[in-house]
C-alpha cells in the first residue's frame, strides 16, 4: 500500500519538473530577445558616424600600384645576424 | 512521461545551440561576406542603381570585416601562446638540465640566449608577416572597389576579377601559414658535448630559418598576386575615370566603351 503511494508521488513530480523546464526555456528566450533588441540601436547609431568621419583611401590604380611596390618584406638573413654571431662564438 | 521529458531536454539543448550560433566567433577560414565587387555585380544583374553613399558604406563594411578578421588571427595566436607558457617554461628547464654537461659558463649563457632569441625572432618575424598581409588585404579591397566601379559601368573586368580571387586565396593561405608558424614553440637542442655545441644549436637555428623561409615564400607570393591583380586592372582603359554612376546602372554594357577596351588591349 505504502509502496503504491510513494510510486504515485514519484509520478506526480514529473509534470512539475516539466513545467519548471518550460518556464526556464521561456525566460531564457525572452532574456535573449531583450538583449538582442537592446544591441541593435547601438549598432545602427555607430554606422553613419563611421561613414561621416572616415576618409576612404584612394582606389586609383596608380596609387594602388605605388603602395604595392612600397610593401617590403624583411630580409631574413639580416634578422638572423645576431643569432649567427652568437653561434660563431660557441 | 520520462521519454517526453528527455525529448524536451534534448530539444532544449539543440534550440540553445541554434540560438547561440549567431554570437559564436567566426572561424578564421570564413569567407569575407561584405564584398563590394559581389554586391556591385548583384546590382547590375538586378538592373538596380547603386548610390554613391551606399557604395561608400559597403566599402566601409568590407573594411571593418577585414579588420575584425585580422584581429581574430592575432587573438588566436595570443591565446595559443598563453596556453603554451607552461610548455615554454618546461623547455627552458630542459635546456638548463642538458647544459649541465657543459663546463664553460659563457657558452652556457650563449646557448640560453640563442634559444631565447629563436623564440623572439619567430614572434617578431611572424608579426611582421601579419602586418604585410593586413596591408595587402587593405590594398586588395581598394582594387575590388575600383573593379566594382567598372562593373557598375558595364565594363568587362573578368580578368581582373579572376586575379582578385587568386589574390584573396593567396593571402588566406599565407595567413594560415603565418598563424601556424607563430604558434610554434621550438624544442631545446640536444646537447652532447662542448665540441658539438655549435652544430647542435646551429640545427635549431637552421630549423627556424627554413620554417620562416617557407612562410616568407607564401607571403611574397601573396604580394605578387595582389600586384598582378592591380596590374591587370590597370590595363582596363580609362579605369581611373570611372566612379559610381550618379544615375541608374546601365542595363546593358556600354558598347562604345567595350569596343574601345578590345581595341586598346589588342594594341
Q: Is residue B122 in a domain? A: yes
Q: Is residue B95 in a domain? A: yes
Write the residue in A29, A51, A87 that is nearest to B202 by C-beta: A87
| Out of A81-85, B38-42, B257-261, least confident range | B257-261
Mean pLDDT of B80-109: 93
Given an 8 Å threshold on Cβ–Cβ distance, is A86 in contact with B4?
no
Mean pLDDT of B114-129: 96
pLDDT tens per residue, range B162-220: 999 999 999 999 999 999 999 999 999 999 999 999 999 999 999 999 999 999 999 99
Q: Is residue B15 in a domain? A: no
In this prediction, what percent of chain B has a pLDDT beyond 90?
61
Given an 8 Å threshold on Cβ–Cβ distance, is B234 in contact with A61?
yes
Q: What is the pLDDT along chain A (90 residues), one digit of tens a residue?
A: 566 666 666 667 888 888 989 999 998 888 888 876 665 444 444 444 444 456 788 888 889 999 999 999 999 999 999 999 999 998
| Out of B36-45, B71-80, B138-147, least confident range | B36-45
Mean pLDDT of B135-163: 93
Q: Is residue B35 in a domain? A: no
How far is the C-alpha of B178 from the C-alpha of B161, rounded, in Å?
26
Per the structure, the count of domains in chain B is 1
Domain boundaries, chain A: 2-88
Q: Is residue B261 in a domain? A: no
Does B249 score more than 80 pLDDT? no
Residue A87 to chain B, least CA–CA distance (Å): 6
Buried/exposed code over B168-206 (b: 16+ C-beta within 10 A; e: otherwise): bebbbebbebbbebbbeebebbebeeeeebbebbbebbe
How far is the C-alpha of B230 from the C-alpha of B163, rounded, in Å?
8
In this prediction, what percent of chain B has a pLDDT beyond 70?
80
Chain B residue whose CA is closest to A20: B5
Q: Is residue B23 in a domain? A: no
> Which structural domain, as residue segments, surrounds residue B158?
55-245
Amino acid at each position: 500500500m505504502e509502496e503504491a503511494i510513494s510510486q504515485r508521488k514519484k509520478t506526480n513530480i514529473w509534470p512539475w519538473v516539466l513545467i519548471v523546464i518550460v518556464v526556464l526555456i521561456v525566460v531564457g528566450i525572452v532574456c535573449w530577445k531583450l538583449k538582442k533588441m537592446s544591441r541593435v540601436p547601438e549598432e545602427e547609431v555607430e554606422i553613419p558616424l563611421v561613414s561621416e568621419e572616415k576618409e576612404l583611401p584612394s582606389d586609383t590604380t596608380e596609387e594602388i600600384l605605388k603602395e604595392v611596390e612600397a610593401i617590403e618584406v624583411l630580409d631574413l638573413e639580416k634578422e638572423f645576424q645576431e643569432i649567427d654571431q652568437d653561434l660563431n662564438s660557441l | 512521461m520520462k521519454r517526453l521529458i528527455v525529448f524536451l531536454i534534448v530539444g532544449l539543448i539543440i534550440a540553445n545551440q541554434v540560438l547561440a550560433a549567431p554570437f559564436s566567433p567566426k572561424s578564421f577560414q570564413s569567407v569575407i561576406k561584405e564584398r563590394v565587387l559581389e554586391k556591385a555585380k548583384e546590382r547590375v544583374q538586378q538592373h538596380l542603381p547603386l548610390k554613391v553613399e551606399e557604395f561608400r558604406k559597403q566599402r566601409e563594411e568590407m573594411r571593418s570585416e577585414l579588420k575584425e578578421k585580422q584581429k581574430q588571427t592575432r587573438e588566436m595566436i595570443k591565446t595559443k601562446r598563453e596556453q603554451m607558457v607552461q610548455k615554454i617554461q618546461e623547455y627552458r628547464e630542459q635546456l638548463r638540465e642538458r647544459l649541465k654537461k657543459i663546463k664553460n659558463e659563457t657558452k652556457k649563457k650563449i646557448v640560453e640566449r640563442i634559444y631565447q632569441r629563436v623564440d623572439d625572432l619567430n614572434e617578431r618575424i611572424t608579426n611582421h608577416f601579419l602586418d604585410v598581409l593586413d596591408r595587402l588585404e587593405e590594398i586588395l579591397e581598394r582594387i575590388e572597389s575600383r573593379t566594382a566601379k567598372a562593373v557598375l559601368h558595364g565594363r568587362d573586368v573578368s580578368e581582373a576579377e579572376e586575379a582578385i580571387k587568386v589574390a584573396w586565396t593567396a593571402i588566406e593561405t599565407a595567413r594560415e601559414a603565418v598563424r601556424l608558424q607563430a604558434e610554434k614553440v621550438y624544442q631545446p637542442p640536444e646537447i652532447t658535448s662542448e665540441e658539438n655545441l655549435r652544430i647542435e644549436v646551429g640545427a635549431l637555428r637552421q630549423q627556424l630559418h627554413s620554417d620562416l623561409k617557407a612562410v616568407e615564400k607564401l607571403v611574397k607570393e601573396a604580394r605578387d598576386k595582389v600586384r598582378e591583380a592591380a596590374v591587370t586592372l590597370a590595363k582596363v582603359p580609362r579605369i581611373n575615370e570611372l566612379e559610381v554612376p550618379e544615375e541608374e546602372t546601365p542595363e546593358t554594357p556600354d558598347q562604345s566603351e567595350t569596343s574601345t577596351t578590345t581595341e586598346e588591349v589588342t594594341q
